[in-house]
Amino acid sequence: MTLSSDLSLETKGHRRVASVFGKLNFCIPKKSFHQSKHTIGRADGVSGESEESIAVYSGIYARKLMPYCIGMADGVSGQSEESSAIDSGICAIKLMPYCVANRMMDVNDEATSEFDNLKLVSGCFYLPKKSESRPLGQDAHFHFQTKRTIGVADGVTGRSERSVAIDSGIYARELMSNCVAKLGRKPNGAAVNPKRVLKTAHYKTESKGSSTACVVSLNGTRLCYANVGDSGFLVFRSNRCVYTSTIKQRRFNHPYQLNNSGRRIIEFDDIADEGEFEVEAGDVVVLGTDGLLDNLFAHEIEDILEKQISCETPHMHPQQIAVAIGVAAEANSRNDLYKSPFSMAAGLAGFECVGGKHDDITVIVARIESSH
């Protein structure tokens, strides 16, 4: 259905008003996600006759509509956008800066560079831990297939944040939105520098809070990455782990993190780890926040991949694999007897800890395929 401007929304006691001129095609399925009150929605900025005459950017209206929704955005170009060379894809990626969003754009396009023989096909899973004060959790992510780039962020709540009720999830979501905005300005097929993308997004993020982050991009046959903190990724070949990214932390359970303090640009180069790994068609990349990495060992993910990618289902979609991995991590997080990666790391650091770690869980699975 079509909604006009000045739309008011009531969500969990928060009243938000979309007061920007424009209109929107808006669809909300009735089915809930994971039996929760979170809404899965879709917003699509639409330009009509009045908008065309004054070149209204309907995407600005759209991105103010669903501040507390889990959804996806689809940029739409009208006459006014075409005449003024506005990329509605950039509109779409800025749609829901306060959402836990599936920010996947141009999913039917192919990379245009004749030198790129590989592409990423990705799917994601996100499960926030139950919290009355932070119902959306503090993780955020994106997967941008035409740019062959994926990313995750995990908002970090410290003592100062708890004392003043800062939701670092808002910071993490804005950080990921800014990463996609940076990527959206690059032509398809162009090489991506993950560290530069993350650094630019970090500089532009204005929300209070802090976050770990990891951005991974496929450039030719090289998987390039930039990582800050304890999020990270693993690469699997023939269902066996062949590469694991390095965790960056000051000490146990105190990861390096991005924030908007005055020293953020000076510190970024000191705390951001970057590197690359040579990949080939058939490899599977599993990217996640610490909610995944603290609750599943690499050999457990290998077992899941073997079950999911069998002779009967060699082309299992990454979305299904991500769900299987995420569900397994969530089950381990609730097991008080499980000897988790987190409890083992705690023991090595001199702390007594048994069981999984209850946390938000984000998983992105990307399969590397031939672009031909």
Answer whether residue 202 shows pLDDT above 60.
yes
Q: Where are the beta strands (DSSP E) in the chain?
A: 2-3, 7-11, 14-18, 23-27, 40-46, 70-73, 118-127, 139-144, 149-155, 210-219, 222-228, 232-237, 240-244, 249-251, 254-255, 258-259, 273-278, 284-288, 361-370
Vertex 222: Cα angle to 218 and 228 (nearest 5): 70
Between the ranges 29-38, 128-137, 291-300, 350-359, where is the mean pLDDT highest? 291-300
How much of the chain exceeds pLDDT 70, in percent? Answer: 64
* Rounded Cα–Cα distance for residues 270 and 27 (Å): 44
Residue-level pLDDT at 266: 53
pLDDT tens digits along 122-151: 999 999 998 888 899 999 999 999 999 999
**Averaged pLDDT for residues 331-341:** 96
Q: Given the structure tokens 């000897």, which residue do they identify?
A: 339
Supply the pLDDT for residue 361.
98
Tell me what pLDDT residue 13 has: 38
Residue 358 burial by Cβ neighbours in a 10 Å radius (0-12, 13-18, 19+)? middle
pLDDT (0 to 100) of residue 311: 61
Question: What is the spatial distance between Cα 245 and Cα 285, in angstroms, rounded to a whole number?
Answer: 11
274 near 227, Cβ under 8 Å?
yes
Q: Which residues pair with 227 in a beta bridge?
A: 214, 273
Query: How would DSSP label each residue in 159-215?
Result: HHHHHTT--HHHHHHHHHHHHHHHHHTSPTT----HHHHHHHHHHH--SSSEEEEEE
Burial 219-235 (b: 16+ CB within 10 A, else e): beeebbbbbbbbbbbbb
Least confident segment among 6-10, 72-76, 156-160:
6-10
pLDDT at residue 265, as a whole number: 53
State the pLDDT confidence band at 188, using cuts at 50, 70 and 90: confident
166 contacts 209 by C-beta, under 8 angstroms: yes
| Closest CA relative to residue 152, chosen from 322, 361, 358 | 361
At 166, list the tokens. 């800062």
**pLDDT top residue among 95 and 279:** 279
pLDDT exceeds cutoff 60 at 258: yes
Q: At what angle do helices 168-184 and 194-204 cross, to 10 degrees?
A: 130
- Please determine, for residue 249, whether its predicted confidence score (pLDDT) is greater than 50: yes
Query: Average pLDDT of the chain?
Result: 75
Of 164-168, 228-232, 350-354, highest mean pLDDT: 228-232
43 has a pLDDT exceeding 50: no
Joined together, the tokens standing for residue 81 give 């956008």
pLDDT score recorded for residue 131? 87
Is residue 179 within 8 Å of 215, Cβ to Cβ? yes
Q: Look at residue 72 and tell me whether its pLDDT is greater than 90.
A: no
pLDDT of residue 338: 96
Q: Once rounded to an integer, what is the mean pLDDT over residues 53-67?
A: 38
Q: In the chain, what percentage of residues exceed pLDDT 90?
A: 55
Position 267 pLDDT exceeds 60: yes
* CB-based contact 194:224 (threshold 8 Å): yes
